[in-house]
Amino acid sequence: MFLHYSPFWLKALYPNFLWHMPAEGKNLYLTFDDGPIPGVTEFILETLHDFQAKATFFCIGDNVRKHPDIFKEVVNYGHSIGNHTFNHLNGWRTSVETYHENIQLCTDQLGFETQLFRPPYGRIKRKQAKPLLEQKRKIVMWDVLSGDFSKDITPETCLRKTIQYSKAGSILLFHDSIKAEKNMAYALPRVLAHFSNLGYQFLAIPADRI
């Protein structure tokens, strides 16, 4: 079970994390975790292009290693890039030293140091987060979880819940993974169409290279 939105009490526990963007105008912020993956990431890139939308991709270093050409496509389309560790580590089950070594491995594979970091599963210890925040990194969470990864929901539910909880400034979480492909491929173009018709823009989270 999971919530399709991040509750206020969770955001209050970690106020230094980025849960949403300022609600200035009708803007939404799509994010994609776990890629790049052949076929899936390319579908997302083409769909975003059709709607003149930008997004933020939190990449796994090992997937960048396996699929460098697809990663280059993401960069060339002008999307923001975030670090998602090299091996999709669960921070709660990983030592501080190992966790930061894995983040650095991802940085080395990306070829540049991005300001944006998202902990896999949203799980990170305070001792792991503290050095990142001191380095002026942004630990990016979300306030709308599409649930595209779940086999327990239908594509229609994935779409309905994402639309229900999205509002100006929301950071939306999808995945460019095989596991999420069915739900994501149904929901993403419909989310883009729905909010585009309401006058929303889809923007990337600014990602300074540090």
CB atoms within 10 A of CB 106: 26
What are the E-state strand segments in the chain? 27-33, 55-59, 80-83, 116-117, 138-139, 144-145, 171-175, 201-202
20 is catalytic: no
Distance, in Å, from the CA atom of 70 to the CA atom of 97, rounded to the nearest integer, reads 30
20, 33, 84, 148: which is the annotated catalytic residue?
33
The Cα–Cα gap between 24 and 203 comes to 12
Tokens 């990864």 belong to which residue? 149
Handedness of CA 6, 24, 201, 40 (dihedral sign): negative
Could you tell me the end-to-end alpha-carbon distance of the chain, in angstroms, rounded to an integer?
37
- What are the start-end ranges of the H helices in the chain? 8-13, 40-50, 61-66, 68-76, 96-110, 126-134, 155-165, 181-197
Residue of 88, 148, 175, 176 with catalytic role: 175
Are 170 and 20 in contact, with CB atoms under 8 Å apart?
yes
175 is catalytic: yes
- The residues annotated as belonging to the active site are 33, 175
